[in-house]
């Protein structure tokens, strides 16, 4: 093998509990809005995830998947709240596993960002779908809307108990489906992030007010998910490092949450930021590796493994981040949409890396 093709530190395996991920270049969860109206996966999902598994990505985080029908963002979201759905996901997990990658799944409750149009129809995420048109009513910590979406109903105790039970059941279904890691989506303005941020949570009960109270509900979910997943498989949390807006979550708040997650037995933080509110200024700034520094701060604060996401453009950068010890792995989103074989690009003639069936092209 020519020296130019020697893999860098991004290609070292990483062990989390009893799961060994073959390398540190991972696929970020990206909603495809390609599911059947009952949340079942379709051929699109196999056609989409398949090449990234064949293409050498170490862990594929299957897109945000709803823990219940009322917790979806759109009627085209994937779901994993029934056994039938879990069994349908096996086609994906077995293909991914057979090609050497680790199948993982992101579990979602949308909260006030629920029941809208798919991005390319009408007003997209800002276009509400009412109950009369096949949508559903949504809950949130407080009756504060996201952008132009309708005012959500403030969740009562029974709603919160239902969400916790739904996450636990979805976790059991994820195990049944063959996923080897689950990720709790606690960012990007969805339900658990809404509880964490003072901008979306104005509750006066034990779930609102102080930072400790705002963490209480996401931590209940974390505990339920950890208990529902086998002890040999890791649980990740996608965490918000900052809301990028005055009055929102800061990196200091995120560090406190990270420490509590460590105490709950969470294994890895997938570190992102922003998009709690619709304002343009709450978007992460367009700069390379925007969440890498936050990830290393959270790693130091909590002792957990971390994997930043956001504008990590290629293998050289991934190798630097992992090699310098800033993070344990990286997640890539859009770069892997553009190029499913990105993880193999610096080994263009390495027969051990490329699938046997493609060797005649090397």
Ligand X SMILES: Cc1cc2nc3c(=O)[nH]c(=O)nc-3n(C[C@H](O)[C@H](O)[C@H](O)COP(=O)(O)O)c2cc1C
Please work out, in degrees rounded to the nearest 5, the angle formed at the alpha carbon of residue 313 by the alpha carbons of 310 and 315: 120
Contact flag: residue 46 with ligand X (CB under 6 A): no
CB 208 within 8 A of CB 140: no
Number of residues that bind ligand X (CB under 6 A): 19
Please work out, in degrees rounded to the nearest 5, the angle formed at the alpha carbon of residue 75 by the alpha carbons of 73 and 76: 95
Neighbours of 130 (CB within 10 A): 11
DSSP conformational letter for 206: T
Which 12-41 residues touch ligand X, going by CB under 6 A?
28-31
Output the smallest distance, CB 29 to ligand X, in A.
4
Nearer to ligand X, 183 or 267 (CB): 183
6: which 2 tokens? 């020697």
**Distance separating alpha carbons of residues 234 and 236, to the nearest angstrom:** 7
Contact flag: residue 63 with ligand X (CB under 6 A): yes
Contact flag: residue 117 with ligand X (CB under 6 A): no
Selected from 45, 49, 64, 327, the binder of ligand X by CB under 6 A is: 64
Contact flag: residue 116 with ligand X (CB under 6 A): no
Task: Given the residues 33, 49, 179, 190, select the one marked as catalytic.
Answer: 190
Contact flag: residue 212 with ligand X (CB under 6 A): no
Q: Is 190 a catalytic residue?
A: yes
**Distance separating alpha carbons of residues 279 and 284, to the nearest angstrom:** 11
x/- track of binding to ligand X for residues 299-328 (CB under 6 A): ----------xxxx----------------
Contact flag: residue 194 with ligand X (CB under 6 A): no
Tell how far CA 252 is from the center of its chain. Answer: 21
Task: Count CA atoms closer than 13 A to 27's CA, side-chain side.
Answer: 35
Nearer to ligand X, 93 or 354 (CB): 93
Contact flag: residue 291 with ligand X (CB under 6 A): no
CB 242 within 8 A of CB 272: no
Contacts with ligand X, residue ranges (CB under 6 A): 28-31, 63-64, 106, 185, 188, 238, 272, 309-312, 332-335
- Active site members: 190
């Amino acid at each position: 093998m020519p020296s130019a093709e020697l893999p860098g530190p991004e290609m070292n395996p990483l062990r989390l509990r009893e799961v060994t991920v073959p390398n540190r270049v991972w696929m970020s969860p990206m909603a495809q809005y390609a599911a059947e109206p009952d949340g079942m996966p379709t051929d699109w999902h196999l056609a989409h995830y398949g090449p990234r598994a064949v293409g050498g990505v170490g862990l594929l985080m299957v897109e945000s998947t709803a823990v219940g029908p009322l917790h979806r963002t759109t009627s085209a979201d994937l779901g994993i709240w029934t056994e039938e759905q879990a069994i349908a996901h096996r086609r994906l997990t077995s293909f991914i596993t057979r090609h050497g990658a680790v199948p993982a799944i992101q579990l979602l409750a949308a909260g006030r960002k629920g029941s809208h149009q798919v991005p390319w129809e009408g007003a997209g995420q800002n276009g509400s779908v009412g109950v009369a048109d096949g949508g559903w009513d949504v809950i949130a910590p407080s009756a504060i809307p996201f952008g132009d979406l309708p005012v959500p109903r403030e969740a009562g105790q029974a709603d919160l108990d239902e969400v916790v039970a739904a996450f636990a059941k979805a976790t059991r279904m994820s195990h049944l489906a063959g996923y080897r890691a689950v990720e709790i989506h606690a960012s990007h303005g969805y339900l658990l992030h809404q509880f964490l941020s003072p901008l979306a949570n104005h509750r006066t009960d034990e779930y609102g007010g102080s930072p400790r109270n705002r963490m209480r509900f996401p931590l209940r979910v974390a505990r339920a998910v950890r208990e529902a997943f086998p002890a040999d498989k890791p649980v990740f949390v996608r965490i918000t490092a900052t809301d990028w807006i005055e009055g929102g979550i800061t990196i200091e708040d995120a560090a406190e949450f990270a420490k509590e997650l460590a105490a709950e037995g969470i294994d890895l933080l997938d570190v992102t930021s922003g998009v709690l509110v619709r304002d343009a200024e709450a978007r992460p700034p367009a700069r390379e590796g925007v969440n890498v520094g936050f990830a290393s701060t959270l790693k130091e604060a909590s002792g957990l493994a971390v994997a930043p996401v956001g504008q990590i453009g290629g293998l050289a950068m991934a190798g630097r981040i992992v090699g310098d010890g800033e993070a344990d792995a990286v997640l890539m989103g859009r770069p892997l949409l553009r190029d499913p074989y990105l993880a193999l690009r610096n080994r263009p003639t390495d027969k051990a890396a490329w699938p046997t069936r493609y060797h005649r092209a090397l």
